[in-house]
Every structure is written in structure tokens, then in C-alpha cells.
Amino acid sequence: MIRFEVSTEIKRPLGEVFAYANDPSNLAEWNSIVEEAKASETPVRKGTKITTRARFLGRRVDSIAEVTEHIPNQKFVQKSDKPFPLTITNQFEAAGEGTRVTAILEGEPGGFFKMGEPVLVRIAKKQFQAQLDTMKELLEARAPAEVK
């Protein structure tokens, strides 16, 4: 069993950060391993299925994740069976000048991934942190929304 969490603080409003992260059409923009992601329905909610094509450790991985929990502006949880059974929890909370985003990955690697579990954890944690850092850079580079 593997489990780790990464987080970052993004200087943007909570609602904006959640909306961006919760939209699968943005996933390939900030997640370097994802080539394509599509939701079975929009807006995303509990029960939505998200089909993803990604490259992980040099392997192409096509997977379908199901959103098992969805609380707007607070949290969404996805469960998938590929590349191995895993759950990714994304939590959002107002913090400082913006929003704290925390991603928690829990999984049960098997086969190819089980053999290299310690290395897998180090690589995956580093990649997840880099992905959150990319999201932070992209969102903070945007012009502030006009106040009406």
C-alpha cells in the first residue's frame, strides 16, 4: 500500500482554483503525464467518469476514473483501477492570500509497479508536486478577474 500527499498554496480565489482543477479538459495543461482527459458529463459531479490517456514511467496508460465524492469548493475524490487500484483525493481550502490545494494518493501497486514500489513512490510524489506547482504557475499568471 502506498500513500502520500503533496500541497501548494495558490494566490487565486478558492472558487477559481476549484473550478480549474475540477475541469478534466484542463488536466493535460497542468498535469505533465496526461495527454488527454474527457468527462462523461459536465459539470463534473459524483458518479462522473473521467477517461484519461497518460504516460507513466514510460508506459501508456488508458484509464477510467470515477468521481466517488464531490463537494464544490472543498473536495473531489476519484477512484481508478489503472495503472493499479488507486484513489486520488483533492482538497481545497481558503488559506492566506488564496487557496491551499492538497492532493492525496493512495494505491495498491501490483505486477510491474509492485516490484519497484519504493522508487514508484518517490517518482510519483515528485511528479504530483510538480503538477501542483504547474497549476499554481498557470493560475497565478492569469490576470485577476474584473470586479463587477
The domain locations on the chain are 2-139
- CA nearest to 21, candidates 79, 90, 71: 90
- Model confidence pLDDT, tens digit, residues 81-118: 877 789 999 999 999 889 999 999 998 766 555 555 56
Structure confidence at residue 122 (pLDDT): 80
Q: pLDDT at position 60, please?
A: 87
In whole angstroms, give the CA distance from residue 85 to residue 136.
28
Q: What is the pTM of this model?
A: 0.87
Distance, C-alpha 87 to centroid of its chain? 10
- Is residue 40 pLDDT above 90, yes or no? yes
Q: What is the mean pLDDT of the chain?
A: 88
CATH superfamily to which 2-139 belongs:
START domain (3.30.530.20)
Q: Which residue has better confidence, 96 or 24?
A: 24
Residues forming a β-bridge with 65:
50, 80
